[in-house]
């Protein structure tokens, strides 16, 4: 497939993106850690051109760069190389070619707010106040001493991972800033050589065939030029929330930097970015959206499992993103508890199918997290044995959910190692991996995997589910969320029963004679093509999609 064809350049609106956490997807060499060759070996699961695959349009790879793993790859030691544990540049280029041959785009995670403290740039910068790299990071003198003789910090900013955002460097006799771990020093985006170097990273990967980027914590690139302290606030969990973070993110200079970065991405047809809005509001997210440059606002993550909660959040989002801003929809990722576990209920996997339907049919681009198609649950990993570094320091002042629990290995088949590895996996497989795996679920038409395949392929065949306008409709039952997606002359209605009971609902008028709806898919196995009455009863936890006729 020619991915540069003009008819393919709006794939970011029509398609589905699949996030791969590389160390947990598939291990090709038995060392217990997933790798690029393992990903390549399983591409047919994602897209083989038939309904036997998921029907994915792009993969997003969490960081694959060389890293000492103080933050599991989000501390980058070399921006333009591949960590040897995952493979080589040549192996990466083979993976890109294999993806493109299947019509799959490749999106890389870009971590441009901070580098690793072991990056050569920081090694040179921390050595002294002179030299070409002296100003590549945010260094400041101590403003004096406390009454007990301790050095005062430059301001009151906190690290998101606990403690002050400043660490003393004896070699320079200055503090440096780190929004996250001390091993993740923040880069100085106001220094022209830094900006040029980071934009060159974008150019390098685009030239290697990468189609787009996920921008890690992009709204923290710039801090207040005067480094003024944040105003204090009352309430919230943990010291981070005891400030209003107005001076350490969302600065005016960000717009120009994003424009430069996006201009580079746009030099090749079909490019896109999706930015991770860090600790921000819905209105902030909407303000940063541009055509084929999306923003995660995480509106849907963390909602209680009720139709009212989702309906209210979707309505607020639609209002913020209209008329032409395009949302990025996500229910799980590498930092958050898996939604199949969050929404688990007495009906087993039924809610996971409802959630899959929601994600695949809402206005916006769906982003799936690996294992989501199996309704993979969280692992149980106590903080005391966590690999996730912040989890080992969790406390009352620093509440932290151990992210290891959302990063468990993918199960491909029954048996030892679950098809993920022939060795010892870096994290344990889920306890139910013997039954919750790709091979087993592929043979079960009632499985969550089979439902994901059907609903994604229906989306691919239905333009109104891809690019249509959206309006929430009242069905007459508070536990049912329903919305209509419309393009000119075509419509689809989606009805989602969030309750563990049947619900009788009214359908809105279709595009022709009322009610004008023919069933396309139902989680309860109703016959496709059946005309639907104006009033019908949904089973408990049923998701239903109908097409206007």
Extract the tokens encoding 294: 């999306």
CA–CA distance, 22 with 407 (Å, rounded to integer): 10
Beta strand segments in 196-298, E: 212-215, 272-276, 293-296
CB 400 within 8 A of CB 391: yes
CB 69 within 8 A of CB 58: no
Task: DSSP letter for 150, please.
Answer: P
Adjacent-strand bridge partners of 177: 166
Alpha helices of 417-515 — where are they, by DSSP H? 438-442, 448-461, 463-467
- Would you give the end-to-end CA distance of the chain in angstroms? 32
CA–CA distance, 103 with 94 (Å, rounded to integer): 14
What residues are annotated to the active site?
216, 267
CA–CA distance, 125 with 119 (Å, rounded to integer): 10
CA–CA distance, 185 with 116 (Å, rounded to integer): 7
Q: How many CB atoms lie within 10 A of CB 253?
A: 13
- Cα torsion through 186, 188, 189, 194, rounded to 10: -110
Q: Is 59 helix (H, G, I), strand (E, B) or coil?
A: strand
Identify whether 393 is preceded by a cis peptide bond (ω within 30 of 0).
no
CB 321 within 8 A of CB 294: no
For the sheet containing 166-169, what is the strand order? 139-140, 174-177, 166-169
Extract the tokens encoding 257: 């930097």
CA–CA distance, 534 with 529 (Å, rounded to integer): 15
- Which DSSP string corresponds to 451-473? HHHHHHHHHHH-HHHHH-EEEEE
Identify whether 515 is preceded by a cis peptide bond (ω within 30 of 0).
yes
Q: Tell which residue, 512, 495, 509, 505, has the closest CA to residue 546.
A: 495
Q: Tell which residue, 139, 105, 272, has the closest CA to residue 202.
A: 272
CA gyration radius, the chain: 24
Strands 174-177 and 139-140: antiparallel
CA–CA distance, 29 with 21 (Å, rounded to integer): 17
């Amino acid at each position: 497939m020619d991915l540069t064809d003009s008819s393919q350049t709006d794939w970011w609106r029509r398609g589905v993106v699949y996030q791969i956490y590389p160390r947990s997807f598939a291990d090709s060499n038995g060392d217990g850690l997933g790798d690029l060759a393992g990903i390549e070996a399983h591409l047919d699961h994602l897209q083989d051109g038939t309904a036997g695959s998921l029907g994915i349009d792009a993969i997003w790879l969490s960081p694959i760069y060389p890293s000492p793993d103080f933050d599991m790859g989000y501390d980058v030691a070399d921006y333009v190389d591949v960590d040897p544990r995952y493979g080589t540049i040549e192996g990466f280029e083979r993976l890109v070619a294999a993806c493109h041959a299947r019509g799959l785009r490749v999106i890389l995670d870009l971590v441009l707010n901070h580098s690793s403290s072991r990056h050569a740039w920081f090694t040179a910068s921390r050595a002294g106040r002179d030299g070409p790299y002296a100003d590549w990071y945010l260094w400041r003198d101590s403003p004096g001493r406390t009454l007990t003789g301790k050095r005062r910090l430059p301001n009151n900013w906190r690290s998101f991972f606990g403690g002050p955002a400043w660490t003393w460097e004896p070699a320079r006799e200055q503090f440096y800033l780190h929004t996250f771990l001390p091993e993740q020093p923040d880069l100085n985006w106001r220094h022209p050589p830094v900006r040029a170097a980071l934009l060159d990273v974008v150019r390098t990967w685009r030239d290697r065939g990468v189609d787009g980027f996920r921008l890690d914590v992009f709204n923290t690139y710039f801090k207040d030029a005067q480094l003024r302290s944040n105003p204090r606030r009352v309430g919230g969990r943990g010291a981070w929330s005891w400030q209003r973070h107005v001076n350490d993110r969302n600065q005016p200079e960000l717009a120009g930097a994003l424009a430069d970065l996006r201009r580079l991405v746009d030099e090749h047809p079909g490019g896109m970015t999706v930015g991770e809005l860090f600790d921000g509001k819905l209105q902030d997210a909407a303000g940063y959206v541009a055509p084929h440059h999306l923003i995660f606002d995480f509106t849907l993550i963390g909602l209680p499992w009720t139709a009212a909660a989702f309906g209210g959040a979707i309505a607020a989002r639609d209002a913020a993103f209209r008329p032409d801003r395009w949302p990025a929809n996500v229910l799980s990722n590498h930092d958050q508890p898996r939604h199949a576990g969050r929404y688990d209920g007495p009906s087993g996997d039924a809610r996971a199918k409802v959630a899959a339907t929601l994600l695949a049919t809402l206005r916006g681009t769906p982003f799936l997290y690996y294992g989501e198609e199996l309704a993979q649950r969280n692992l149980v990993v106590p903080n005391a044995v966590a690999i996730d570094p912040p989890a080992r320091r969790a406390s009352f002042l620093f509440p932290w959910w151990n992210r290891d629990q959302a990063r468990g290995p993918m199960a491909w088949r029954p048996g030892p190692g679950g098809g993920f590895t022939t060795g010892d996996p870096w994290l344990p497989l889920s306890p139910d991996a013997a039954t919750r795996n790709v091979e087993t679920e592929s043979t079960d038409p009632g499985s969550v995997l089979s439902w994901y395949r059907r609903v994604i392929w229906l989306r691919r065949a239905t333009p109104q589910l891809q690019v249509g306008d959206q309006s929430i409709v009242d069905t007459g039952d508070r536990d049912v969320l329903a919305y209509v997606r419309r393009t000119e002359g075509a419509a689809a209605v989606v009805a989602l029963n969030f309750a563990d009971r049947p619900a009788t609902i009214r359908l809105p008028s279709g595009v022709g004679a009322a009610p004008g709806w023919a069933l396309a898919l139902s989680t309860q196995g109703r016959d496709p093509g059946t005309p639907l009455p104006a009033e019908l009863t949904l089973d408990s936890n049923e998701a239903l999609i109908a097409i206007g006729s």
